Amino acid sequence: MWAVVGLGNPGLRYADTRHNIGYMLVKKAAKAWEIRLRKPKFSARTGEGRRAGERIVLALPETYMNESGQAVKALLVGMEIPTERLVVVFDDVDLPLGEIRVRREGGPGTHRGMASIARLIGTSFPRIRVGIGPVPENVDITDFVLEPFRKAEKKLLDGSLDRAMDALELVLDGRIDQAMNSYN
C-alpha cells in the first residue's frame, strides 16, 4: 500500500493559496483515480482506493502546515504503512512556478511542514516539490505563501500540477529514477 500526502492548511480560507499546492495535487489524484476524500481519519481527510491494482491512501492533513508531521505519523502508524511507501507533495518557494523536483529522500530545507514530518518520522521517503516562487522583493514569505495564485499564473500552475501528477504516477510505479531524470 502507498500513502500520498499533500501538504497544506485546512479550511476555505487557504484553499487556493500557494501553500496548498500539495492539497491541489492530491485532489487531482483523487479525481483521476476515483477516490473519495472523506471525513478526518488520523488527523487528515483520507480516501482509500486502488491504483494500477495496488491499494493506495490519499491524505490531506487537517493539522496546520507547521504540524503536518503529527498527521503523517498518525496515518503511517494507524494504517501500518512503512515510511518508504509514503510520498509527500508540497510547495517550494525556491523553485519557480511551473517547475517540480522529485527526490528519493532528503532534508526538509526551509519548509516547516516538512521539518515537522522529518522530526517525527525521518526523511527516508519520496517527495515531490512543486515550485511556487519566486518570492517578490519586499514581500514577506509568510504573506506570499498564504496568498492565492493570480489569474495570470493559472496556466503555469495547471502545467506544474500536470507534471507533478505524471511524476507521482512514475514514483508509485517504482520508477523514481525515471521521474527524477524526466522532471528535475
Buried b vs exposed e over 61-87: b needs ≥16 C-beta within 10 Å?
bbbbbebbbbbbbbbbeebebebebbb
* pLDDT tens-digit series, residues 116-126: 999 999 999 99
DSSP states along 113-157: HHHHHHHHH-S-S-EEEEEEEPPPTT--HHHHHTSBPPGGGHHHH
**Mean pLDDT of the chain, nearest integer:** 96
Percent of the chain with pLDDT over 90: 97
Query: Mind listing the domains of the chain with CATH numbers?
Result: 2-183 (3.40.50.1470)
Confidence of residue 3 (pLDDT cuts 50, 70, 90): very high
Q: Where in the sequence numbering do the catalytic residues fall?
A: 19
Mean pLDDT of all residues in 19-31: 98
- The alpha helices in 6-111, defined as continuous H runs, are 21-32, 68-79
* pLDDT tens-digit series, residues 146-178: 999 999 999 999 999 999 999 999 999 999 999
* pLDDT tens-digit series, residues 72-114: 999 999 999 999 999 999 999 999 999 999 999 999 988 999 9
Position 39 pLDDT exceeds 90? no
Position 44 pLDDT exceeds 90? yes
The confidence score (pLDDT) of residue 68 equals 98
The confidence score (pLDDT) of residue 76 equals 98
The confidence score (pLDDT) of residue 40 equals 87
Percent of the chain with pLDDT over 70: 100
Q: ∠59-116-31 over CA atoms, to 5°?
A: 15
